[in-house]
Amino acid sequence: MGSYINARMVEIREQLGPALKELGVRPRTWKGDGCVVVEFLPLKSTGNFSPVAIVFDDKASTGLEEASWAHAHVYVADYRRRDVGDTGWIAIDKTGERRLAIRHEGQRMFEWIAFVLEYEGAFPYQVGAPMHLASPHVADAYATVASWHRDVRIERRIEHEMPVETLVFADKDERDIRIEYRHLWSDAHLVIDGELTERFSQHDFHYLNAVVRELADNFYADRNLWRAPR
């Protein structure tokens, strides 16, 4: 793969260097299915990555000795940033992906690719980067909890090298309530005054709403059909 992509990598480093430096990323190649992908990763492990990649058809597909811009396209993964209430935390969601045909030739082509890189920006590469939630589920859960309880805050700790993000608040009886979301786990944990009392799916926001409504409302706590014993 090296000799096939080498000339294009030299061009990318030379022509896109200023844009890559501004974003704090560097090009790296990997072999895909029928293609060679040039992605742009952080200079440091705690830095940002670009959602933009350049995809070249591989040698078996083109029959050429080196990768060609005529057999390439730009791939863009679409992300959005959203503020999580007024907590200072930010959630990042992947919303889709796009394939863009290479535009222009020569210098104008590199100017166009640089524009795409700059326009799309960069996003934290490290899971659980400072003030960036590891999972957008926590942001959605925050909105649900904050609709029933005041002074909800988000805390993070590292457990077995993975982030645990927790919604913390006091219920109607002034108990310490913690709803824990472990990265890559399927369930959330409800912890009341330090005791694990319940588990439920991180995706089940109807059930979460029933949980937090009961914790806020004595009347509803006696009539909560959503929370039948599991």
Sorted by where each begins, the domain ranges of the chain are 2-124, 136-227
**Phi and psi at residue 21, in whole multiples of 5°?**
-65, -40
DSSP H or E segment with residue 53: strand 52-57
Q: How far apart are the C-alpha atoms of 212 and 149, rounded to whole Å? A: 8
- Per-residue pLDDT 10s for the chain (230 aa) are 779 999 999 999 999 999 999 999 999 999 999 999 999 999 877 789 999 999 999 999 999 999 999 999 999 999 999 999 999 999 998 999 999 999 999 999 999 999 999 999 999 887 778 899 998 899 999 999 999 999 999 999 999 889 999 999 999 999 999 999 999 899 999 999 999 999 999 999 999 999 999 999 876 655 555 565 54
The pTM assigned to this predicted structure is: 0.79
DSSP H or E segment with residue 144: helix 136-146
